[in-house]
Amino acid sequence: MLSPTLNAATKTHMPASFASTEDLRHGLAKLTPELFGRALRMARSPELAQDLVQDTCERAMRFEAQYQPGTNLRAWVYQILFSVFVTRCRRGRRERNALDVLSTDPCAWTMPDAAAPMQDLSPPVAGALDQLPRGFRDAVVLVDIEEMSYKDAALRLGVPVGTVMSRLHRGRRQLADALRETYQASEERFAA
């Protein structure tokens, strides 16, 4: 249960949590000029510094339940100010990057990100892929390497989707068997 305290201004009893909240807000008001000075040094702009102080005070009041009375209010509020400043810097960087992309291509936000270009296949994989029968190799290349859908691969190859799925399954299995044999042969060479 909250212990009542006597508020000197109104001569009424109020719970201790209300007294600490009131103390926090008075302390915050006293620290405002000091906060502005620190924000001005960080932001180097009076307008931005005022915004930082306002956001800091708003955040401090929103999270006033987390403040522990009797601890260093100045340090707590300075940490909030620093957090608000860093968040604004990061947000500004993201916005600048987005604007840079949009300035070079105004429709960039409507297009999906391009897939990362694939590097060359390793020699053992390329060799095993070349050994597959043409139908299986084409299905594996179109679906697994060029990342086409089954439907698009079927259209390109001129066969039904089910045929692509069957060739892909068999081609993957043959590719895995060939790579397993290559791996075992290389291990035997190194073991000897």
Note the pLDDT tens digit of each residue in 28-86: 999 999 999 999 999 898 999 999 999 999 999 998 888 888 888 899 999 999 999 99
Tell me whether residue 189 is in a domain: no
Tell me whether residue 190 is in a domain: no
One domain for residues 79 and 8: yes
Please identify, among 109, 142, 167, the residue that sits at the C-terminal boundary of a domain: 109
What CA–CA distance (Å, rounded) separates 53 from 34?
10
Tell me whether residue 115 is in a domain: no
CB 61 within 8 A of CB 28: yes
Report which of residues 35 and 189 the model is more confident about: 35
The type of residue at 149 is S
Asked whether residue 19 carries a pLDDT value surpassing 60, the answer given is no
Instruction: Tell how far CA 62 is from the center of its chain.
Output: 25
pLDDT at 7: 42
Average pLDDT over residues 135-145: 92
Interior/surface letters 5-40, b for 16+ CB within 10 angstroms, e for the rest: eeeeeeeeeeeeeebbbeebeebbeebeeebbebbb
Instruction: Tell how far CA 54 is from the center of its chain.
Output: 27
What CA–CA distance (Å, rounded) separates 158 from 128?
25
